[in-house]
Chain A
C-alpha cells in the first residue's frame, strides 16, 4: 500500500513545508516499520435498504438514525463494511510507546493514513460490484457519526461475522480492536444521487480535522 504523505502530515498537525531532514528521515524509518506490521483485512456484504425514515432496515440492521437515512436516500442497497490494518500495528504502537513518543506520533499518523487508503481501495472494489446495476457509492457512514449510535457497532459487526472474516472484535464500550479498524454502512444508489463529501454536514464544529470550504 502506498502511504499518502500529505495525510500523514495532516494527522501529525505538522506543516510539511517547515520540517527539517531530521524529522523526514525518522518518518521514513517509521513508515518502513508500519508497512512491515500491517496485515490488512476487509469484508463486506451487499444488503437491501427497506422502510421509511423513522424505522428502516439495512439488511439485518434495524436503524433509526436520520443522518444515515438522509445519506441512504434513494439507495436500494447498502454495503455493510469492515476493514482493519491488523493487530500488528497495535503491537508496534505498544512497542514504540515505551521507546519514543516522537516515533509514536509518527506511527499513529502513518497508520491512520494507511487505514483510510485501504478503505478507499476497498471502496473501489465495492463500487465495481454495483457499477453494472447503475449504482454508485455514498459516503462511508460509521457508527458514532451524527445520530447513529456507537452501539450500532455490535449488530453491524455481528452481521458481518467480523471476527471470523476480518479479525475485528469489540470492547464492551463498542471500540474496535485492532484499533486501526473501520466499520461503516455505505449506500449504493443511482448515479448522481450522491451528495458531495463535505465537513459542513457534520455537527462536530470543534473537530480538529474539520475542513472549511
Chain B
C-alpha cells in the first residue's frame, strides 16, 4: 500500500517515541541512539513491533540524529541508516510502511546562527539519499524549529529522492517556532514547498496542540500530522518521566482529529499503550470533505502577510535602484549597511512587504540579489517581493529566501512565462503578473484583462491558481499618456469584478516627469484604492502616501475605530519644530560637566539631540554660515568634547554614541548641501573591520563600526565569524591599510593571531588594531597587532592618528 492510498482510508496512525523507549531499555543519556540500530537491532525491532502490534500503520526509523552534521557515532552513517530502515522493515512486514525519520541538523542556520543554508541542504540530502537507497517508503522530516531549516530539509528531500515528503515542526508553548514563525507563516512555507503532509510534533502535549491544529487546517490542503509528546518531560536522578497517560493522550488526539488532523501518533514519552489507545479512539472516524483553502499568503521567517480583496497593503519600493543614485552606489561598493537601513526604516514606517531589486548594470545581479535578500532578512522580518527580470537571479534568490515570497514578475510574453512559472512552481510564491506581452502594453482595459487571463491560464499548467496571482495593470506617466488614469482605474475594477483576482500598482510612476510628485502620487493612490487596488508599491517614507493609505483604511472601516490612524497620527503631520528656547533649556539643564561656551549646534550634539542637531544645521546653512565653518566650528569641537568626556569618565558609552549619531545626522545635512553645490566630501579610510573566525559575538565590533562612521571614516564591515582569507581578500581589494579585528572569547583569539599573520604576509604595510573582552595591551602585542583598542573611542583615536 502506498502512502496516498493509506491516507484515503481515514485516520493514519503513526508510532510513538523511540528515544525515550531506548532509554528505558538501557540507552544512556548522551549516547547515540542511532548506533543501537547496529549494536542492538533486536531491541530497535522490538520497539517497532510493539508499535505495529498496538495498531500503528507507519514506523519512523531510528534515524532522528543520523544527520551528517550531527552524527558522530563510530559506525559509518550509511550502515546506520541502512540498518535502521532494515529494522523497521523487518517489523513492518508487507502491509505497513516505513518512514525515514529526518531530524534537525543540530545547528542553527544563519542569520540566527552560524550554519550555511547550503550546508544544511547538503547534510539533509546525504541522509535522505541513504534512506531512499535503503528502501524507505517516504521521508518524514520532524522536530524542526526554524523555517529556514525546514526549507533546506524539504528541498533536499524533493531533489534527492522521489518519495512522498512529510514535514512536522516543533512549536513552543506560544505556538511559535524558535525563530519566531507562528502557524500562519509555517503554513505558508508548507504550502510553498508542496509537502505531502504537514503538521506538528514534539514540543507540546496534544491538548496544547489543538488550537494550532485548527489554525493549520484553515491554511493548508494536505493531510495534517500530529505527533505529540506525552505532556512535558521531567527528569529526576537521570530518569525522564512524562505526565499524560494513554487514556488522556488518546482523548486529546481524538480532539485534534476532529479539528482536522489525519495522521496521528506520539513523540517523546509515548509508549505502545498510548498508540493502542489512539488507534481505538480514532477508529471509524470519517472525515468531512471540506472545500480546499484558497488564500494568497506570503511569508518570512517569522511573519505571514495575507493579500486579500477585502483590504489593501503597502509594498515598500525603496530597495530598487531605478532612479536612485545612492542605492546604485551602495550596490556597486557593496555597502550593505545602506540597504539595511532602508529596509528597517520602511518597516518602521508601516510597509508590510519590501520590494528588493538589484538590477544595476555592471554587477552580478544573481549574486547581489541573493546576498541582499539574505542581508535584508537578517534585520527585517517583513516578507519580501523579489524583483528581477532575470530567471537565474530569481531562482537563486527564491531558493535562499526564508519563507514564501512575492515574485515580481511574470508577464504575458510566452518566453517569460516559460522561464518564470517553473521556478515559482518549484519554490512557491505569489506572482505579480504584468499585463504586457510581445505586443507591448495594451491601451485599453479590455486588452490588459485579456493578457491577465492568458497569464492565469498558462500558470494553471504549472499548478498555479488564481489566488497565486496579483495582477499589475501597469501605471504609465500621466504626463505622457493623458488618458492612462481612466484605463488603469477601469482595469483595476474589472480585475476585481471579472477575474476575482488581486491587483497591484507601482503607484509613483504616474507622476513621472512632473513637479511636486508626492502630491500627485497620493491623489492617484486614493483613486486607485477606491477602484479596489489590493497592493501598492510605494515609498513608505513619503508622508503623503502613508497618510493616504491610512486615511483610506480609516474612512472605509478597515481600520476599526480609527485606532491605527490615531496611533500613526504623529507621523502623518509635518514635524513640529521645537522652539529654540526649549533647546536652550534642555541644553542648560543637561548635566555633562562641561561648561565651555559652544554654538547651538555643538550644544545639541553634546546633548545627543539628534532632531535638533539636524534642524540647527539646516538653520545655520540657511543663515549663510559656510559648511566648512559649521563642521570645523561646531561639529568637530562638539565631538572632541564628548570624546574627551568619555575618556575621562564624565560621559558614558551610550551618551558618547548618541552624541556621535547626532553629529553624524548634522554632518549629513551639510554634506548634502555641499553635494548640491558640487563639492563632494570624502570620508577618511577605508577601514576593514571584522569579528574573527569562530566568534559570533559582534556587538562590540558593531559599536566600533558605528562610532568610526560617525567620526567620518569609511568602514567596510565584513561581519562576524570571518575567516582570515576573507579578511585578507577584502583588505587587498579595497586597498585598505588599516584593519580592525574583534574577538570576545579566549578560544577565538588564536584566529585573530592567524588573521594578523595572514595580513602581514599579504601586505606588510597593513596595520591592525584589535579589541574585545579578553584582550589586553600585552596580549595584543603578543599576537602581533599594531594597536590595541581598549574601547570604541580608542578605535577612533587610532584611526585619527593613522589617517592624520
Contact = CB atoms under 8 A, between A and B. Distances in A.
Interface string B579-620: 000000010011110000000000000011100000000000
A87 B179 contact: yes
Contacts of B607: 20, 22
A177 B661 contact: no
Contact of A47 (B238, B773, B792): B238
B174 interface: yes
A66 interface: no
Interface in A40-89: 41, 44-48, 59-61, 77, 86-88
B337 interface: yes
A101 B776 CA distance: 23
Nearest to B650: A18
Nearest to B179: A87
Given A45-B235, A46-B235, A23 B658 contact: yes
A142 interface: no
A32 B707 CA distance: 25
A67 to B, nearest CB: 16
A2 interface: no
Interface stretch (B74-82, B100-108, B731-739): B100-108
Most buried by B among A15, A102, A165, A206: A102
A104 B702 contact: yes
Interface stretch (A92-100, A114-122, A191-199): A92-100
B748 interface: yes
A21 to B, nearest CB: 8
Nearest to B699: A108
B176 interface: yes
B654 A106 contact: yes
B654 A88 contact: no
Nearest to B703: A101
Interface string B667-696: 000000000000000000000000000111
B453 to A, nearest CB: 42
B784 interface: no
A178 interface: yes
Contacts of B710: 101
A104 B178 CA distance: 22
B26 interface: no
B180 A88 contact: yes
Contacts of A104: 699, 702-703, 706
B343 to A, nearest CB: 8
Interface size class of chain B, counting residues whose CB lies under 8 Å from the partner chain: 35 or more
A87 B112 CA distance: 7
A176 B477 CA distance: 54
B30 interface: yes
Contacts of A102: 608, 654, 657-658, 661
Contacts of A150: 745, 747
Nearest to A151: B747
A20 B591 contact: yes
A167 interface: yes
Interface string B539-574: 000000000000000000000000000000000000
Nearest to B704: A101
A52 B235 CA distance: 24
A15 to B, nearest CB: 7
B498 interface: no
Contact of B341 (A47, A90, A98, A169): A98
B653 interface: yes
B519 interface: no
Given A46-B236, A59-B29, A163-B106, A174 B608 contact: no
Contacts of A20: 589-592, 607, 655
A12 interface: yes
B14 to A, nearest CB: 18
Nearest to A108: B699
B378 interface: yes
Interface in B749-763: none
Contact of A173 (B179, B202, B591, B694): B694
B147 to A, nearest CB: 11
Most buried by B among A12, A13, A158, A164: A164
A44 B236 CA distance: 10
A159 B30 contact: yes
B591 A18 contact: yes
B380 interface: yes
Given A95-B379, A163-B145, A173-B695, A60 B29 contact: yes
Contacts of A172: 114, 694
Nearest to B111: A94
Contacts of A77: 237
Given A22-B658, A97-B702, A163-B104, 6 more contacts: A20-B591, A20-B592, A86-B178, A100-B706, A105-B653, A167-B172
Smallest CB-CB A-B distances: 7 pairs: A101-B706, A102-B657, A14-B652, A45-B235, A167-B178, A173-B694, A98-B340
Interface of A: 12-15, 18-23, 26-27, 39, 41, 44-48, 59-61, 77, 86-88, 90-91, 93-95, 97-102, 104-106, 108, 150, 155, 158-159, 163-165, 167, 169, 171-175, 177-179, 206, 208
